[in-house]
Amino acid sequence: MKNFTSYKELGLVNSRDMFAKAVTGGYAIPAYNFNNLEQLQAIIMACVETSSPVILQVSKGARSYANQTLLRHLAAGAVEYAAELGKSVPIVLHLDHGDSFELCKDCIETGFSSVMIDGSHLSYEENVKLTRQVVEYAHQHDVTVEGELGVLAGIEDDVHAAHHTYTEPDQVEDFVSKTGVDSLAIAIGTSHGAFKFKPGEEHEIRLDILAEIEKRIPGFPIVLHGASSVPQELVQMINAHGGKLKDAVGISEEQLRAAARSAVCKINIDSDGRLAMTAAIRKVLDEKPEEFDPRKYLGPARDSLKQLYIHKIVNVLGSNGKA
Ligand code: G3H
Ligand code: 13P
Ligand code: ZN
């Protein structure tokens, strides 16, 4: 049996306090995915510079790409790294889209302070049962749990849902009370990946459904997945340097800002970061074909990612100064 490592030994925090403050303060915490050192550095630099709390997310794909133990040590290192940069910001290490009790348990036992159990593809009853099982185990270790109701369109762990199934406001109160979750991810029209909508297609997010959900569970922390905005200047930069990204469109930042002012207290952004890094790397390799030192293209990619994350914190999430 592995040794149990509590996130508390690593200087990490769970999301409870962070969410309580974000709900009353009218802002959202950035939940940024990371798979490697440069992404982690960019996230921490951006959060220290803006004094923002942060949720570091690890997906199943990230675990198999980078190794969960290494990612956990990177996250623990981030606590010290932030202090070295001049500011101790609260850091949550969160499992993104956990799909089984065993995976969540393994993460809880190896230093994660928060887990998502995504039962959104199951029947309502099975989602409740699985989520409840994870909550019971997680809460014994003071780890917070995110559940999900409703199905987002887009690509998620290689599963592609063609249409949204919006969260049913009538179900949220029952789900929250039966499962005991600490936060709830909802489907109101956001979508995973860079190709969320066809250009010109209607893609307003349903702030009316969000308002309805808030009425049923006032003050309860709500999470938005699939919240990348797919900045067109990044798509153009990628394509100008040899890329082929067609018809990539995302969520409006104004709408996300409105959501963050309400009970939405965690906003997940991954694809925009991928675009920022790829654009910077393509530019360097296109303009300097003689370059072969990875630091010469990963460094600019990291800078570009940091700027993107600062922009999100200040102009979309409103979490600057809240650390
Ligand atoms: O929602 C999915 C996240 O963007 C993580 O993506 O599973 O390819 O690491 P991934
Ligand atoms: P994006 O693909 O819109 O960045 O969403 C990321 C996400 O929801 C991670 O869980
Ligand atoms: Zn997601």
Active site residue 96: yes
> Could you tell me the distance, in angstroms and rounded to a whole number, from the CA of residue 235 to the centre of ligand 3?
21
User: What pLDDT score does 161 carry?
Assistant: 66
Assess whether the C-beta atom of 192 lies below 6 angstroms from ligand 1: yes
Mean pLDDT (whole number) for 121-135: 98
Domain 7-316 is of which CATH architecture? Alpha-Beta Barrel (3.20)
Instruction: Give φ, ψ of 66 to 5 degrees.
Output: -110, -10
* pLDDT of 311 higher than 80: yes
* pLDDT for the residue 199: 78
Q: Would you tell me how many other CB atoms lie within 10 Å of the CB of residue 235?
A: 21
- Per-residue pLDDT reduced to its tens digit, 68-122: 999 999 999 999 999 999 999 999 999 999 999 999 999 999 999 999 999 999 9
Determine the average pLDDT of the residues in 217-232: 97
Check residue 156 and give its pLDDT. 60
CA distance 10 to 29: 20
Question: What is the reported pLDDT for 198?
Answer: 82
- 153-156: strand order across its sheet: 159-161, 153-156, 191-192
Does the beta carbon of 270 lie inside 6 Å of ligand 1? Answer: yes
CA gyration radius, the chain: 19
Q: What percent of the chain has pLDDT over 70?
A: 97
The ligand minimizing its distance to the Cα of 268 is: 2
pLDDT at 158 over 60: no
What's the pTM value of the predicted model, to 2 decimals? 0.97
> Which atom of ligand 1 is the closest one to the Cα of 226?
1
Residue 197 banded pLDDT, cuts 50, 70, 90: confident
Beta-carbon neighbour count of residue 51 at 10 Å?
15
Question: What are the domain boundaries of the chain?
Answer: 7-316
